[in-house]
Homo-oligomer: A and B are copies of this chain.
Amino acid sequence: MTTRPPAEVGMALEEVDTPALLVDLDAFEANLEQMAQEVAAAGVRLRPHAKMHKCAVIGLKQMALGAVGLCCQKVSEAEAMVMGGIPDVLVSNQVVGAPKLKRLAALAREARIGVCVDDADNTDSVSAAAVDFGAELDVLIEIDVGMGRCGVEAGEPALALARHIDRAPNLNFAGLQAYQGRAQHIRDFSERRAAIEAAAEAAAHAKALIEGDGIECRTITGAGTGTYRFEAASGVYDELQAGSYAFMDGDYARNQDESGGPFQDYRHALFVYATVMSCPTTERAVCDAGLKASSVDCGLPTVVEADLEAEYLGASDEHGLLGLQPSNRPPRIGDKIRLIPGHCDPTVNMYDWYVGVRGGRVETVWPIAARGAIL
């Protein structure tokens, strides 16, 4: 159900009710600018992943800086983005089952829509839905470039599927989805680079096979915030799908950059805002942001307040346990604190509103229109 917004435009930050999802607008805009400059310099296209932000308002800002469209993982996410004004969406995932395929095909009457396949029968189902709605769909083959999840092998199976798509009514073979998800969080820089070099090699091999058969392979797309510079430099990838760069999260910041230091080229722009609700001892305080306010699948959130030395020690459903340094100023009940979530995507998925803040004041409240869009 849609919840009430925790803030109103014009409020001081300290007045925002908690838990709330804050966007530091200066940091967010700087992140968008930096990525736009990097992809322009590299001569590749950017198609940021909306599974992270789930918000068409943010997608439009990314497109205004040059992104060619967005990626989504679910038809319902794509619907929310198209309804919010995004004209070009790639569902970078398989879509299975008649109800979803109908909605996908119908959506292709309203916007340019792409989808991924890794199976011939599923391709026929996509084609039948497109024919039924008189729609045209771009179709990419997902190849497994080392992630071990979905996708066909980047050799003869990819070629066979390309031929199949090429013959299927109302489908346009558009290229290869070559996302190496497992590489995104390899901490070591060289290992991470090696994983993407292998992925690029596999993708180039599949493309050569397919084009050798006379089928044009327009686009090789993939990459995430952990690896996009390698894909951009590969000479193989045409399009990058990074999403988390817009906000950053605790997990990506634990990757190592080329010098061996933490990857800090993007600023933390997303925070869970929380209130201290109990101070039972000098070593312990409790805030109101637990498992239903910050996803812990990639680690606990981190406390970031200049004058509070506190460690987030554990999450229960609605509580976050904070360990305190007795030497420091202790927090008081009612104090508000910012947390960096361990993993943006599932954290954002718990909220209906972003509270955009600049200079200590609420400047905007954006609806997270694709919150809960899993169908």
**Residue positions of A touching B, CB distance < 8 A:** 1-4, 6, 17-19, 51, 73-74, 76, 80, 93-94, 96-97, 99-100, 118-119, 121-122, 144, 148-152, 181, 275-280, 284, 286, 288, 291-293, 295-297, 315-319, 321, 333-334, 343, 345-346, 349-352, 367-375
Query: Closest Cβ of chain B: how far from A228's Cβ, in Å?
Result: 17
Q: Which of B2, B150, B152, B374 contacts A292 (CB 8 A)?
A: B374
The answer to whether A279 and B352 touch across the interface, beta carbons within 8 angstroms, is no
Residues in B neighbouring A150, C-beta threshold 8 A? 277-278, 280, 286, 319
Say whether, besides A279-B119, A291-B295, A349-B350, A373 and B96 are in contact (CB < 8 Å): no
Chain B residue at minimal CB-CB distance from A77: B318
In the complex, are the beta carbons of B375 and A3 less than 8 A apart?
yes
A121 to B332 Cα, complex, angstroms = 11
Q: Determine whether the beta carbon of B149 is less than 8 Å from that of A96.
A: no
User: Residue A318 contacts which of B3, B93, B293 (CB distance < 8 angstroms)?
Assistant: B93
- The copy count of this chain in the complex is 2
Docked complex Cα distance between A371 and B374 (Å): 15
Task: Specify the chain B residue showing the minimal Cβ separation from A5.
Answer: B375
Contact A346 B93, CB 8 Å, known A118-B278, A372-B352? no
Q: How far is the CB of A218 from chain B (nearest CB, A)?
A: 23
Bound CA span A319–B148, Å: 12
Tell whether, in the assembled complex, residue A149 and residue B286 are in contact, meaning their CB atoms are under 8 Å apart: yes
Instruction: Give Cα A334 to B74, complex, Å.
Output: 16
Q: Across the interface, do B351 and A73 meet the contact criterion of CB distance under 8 Å?
A: no
A280 and B118 within 8 A (CB): yes
A74, A152, A279, A316 interface centre (most CB from chain B within 10 Å): A316
Q: Is the CB of A144 within 8 A of B280?
A: yes
A10 CB, min distance to chain B CBs, angstroms: 15
Known contacts A1-B2, A297-B297; A351 and B334 CB within 8 A of each other: no
Residues from chain B with Cβ under 8 Å of A288 in the complex: 96, 374
When distances are taken between beta carbons in the complex, the residues of chain B under 8 Å from A367 are 1
- With A291-B346, A333-B122 as given contacts, are A3 and B316 in contact (CB-CB < 8 Å)? no
Q: Which residues on B sit within 8 Å (CB–CB) of A350?
A: 349-350, 372, 374
Known contacts: A318-B73, A345-B291, A349-B292. The answer to whether A373 contacts B122 by CB under 8 A is: no
Closest beta carbon of chain B to A174's beta carbon, Å: 19
Residue of chain B at shortest CB distance from A316: B181
Shortest CB distance A2–B (Å): 5
Give complex CA distance A148, B316 in Å.
12
A296 CA to B118 CA in the complex, in Å?
27
> A122: which B residues are within 8 A, CB to CB?
333
List, in ascending order, chain B residues with CB within 8 A of A280's CB: 118, 144, 149-152
